[in-house]
Amino acid sequence: MITISELLINSTKLLRENNNASPRLDAEVMLGHLLNVERSYFIIHSDVLLEDKEVLKYKEMMFRRLQGEPIAYIIGHQEFMGLNFLINNHVLIPRPDTEKLVEYVIDYCKNMSDKILNILDIGTGSGAIALSIGKNIHDCTLTLVDISENALRVAKINAEKLKISSKVKFVLSDCFKEIENQKFDIIVSNPPYIPSHDIECLQTEVKTYEPRGALDGGKDGLLFYRRIIRDAKNFLVKDGLIGFEIGYNQGQEVSKLLRAGGYDNIQIIKDLGRHDRVVVGNLK
């Protein structure tokens, strides 16, 4: 038998020796998930003895983490915009920087008239972007598009968990190909934007475990921006908003693509690290 304190000390040491960036945090998050308790529980209950089956399950989780698998895939969920999303290896892990796009769109929606807004999310993955918007904006309809059937399954579960399925439509499609002829007030996307030749330079956690199809943006990383910007004109209302997450060095290039594609009011929004992270514009 081993206590909570002993298990956390031992696992933290192993993770630190494995060059983990946040060994104690990871150890506590995994154990908290296993025991279904908050991390604060460990402060008061450090001397609690764990059952053998709990220790065995924890060791399995530790093995996966030591191999480099992201915590979100191990525990099966990730917090985003204060909401809890189901996550598996068919979808990208939602990241805090992406919240910048969601926050902008939420503010934009709140400043619109009292109409019901029609919102499209291209490459929705877990649905984190669109569903977070839908959870915060009552008067909207959401169309979530992905080329991956497995990703759409995840998004559907998340919509059900958030209790907003009634205003969500799911479409299996390569960008706009299978979308019915309709107009949207807002189109958002966090498309693949890593240049193909840079994929192997990514952290092991990303390049080995996250879906490559959600990362690879073609030779220069701009392949999907070109496609979406070109085709979105046929699906946006006049003055409709288009918003992208972008790579840290892609602000100017994506802005140029938007300007050349017939959009104005183009803005580049920076993340907390002061890097370009979001580009938005309106269809002329």
Annotated binding-site members for substrate: 190-193
Q: What is the number of other CB atoms lying within 10 angstroms of the CB of residue 151?
A: 26
8 A C-beta contact, residue 200 and residue 207: yes
Helix, strand, or coil (residue 100): helix
Return the half-sphere exposure (C-beta side, CA atoms, 13 A cut-off) of residue 96. Answer: 3
H or E element, residue 188: strand 184-189
d(CA 201, CA 186): 34
Residues flagged as binding site: 123-127, 146, 190-193
- Give 274's DSSP letter: S
Residues flagged as binding site for S-adenosyl-L-methionine: 123-127, 146, 190
Question: For 91, phi and psi rounded to 5 degrees?
Answer: -135, 155
d(CA 191, CA 177): 16
Q: Which residues pair with 120 in a beta bridge?
A: 143, 187
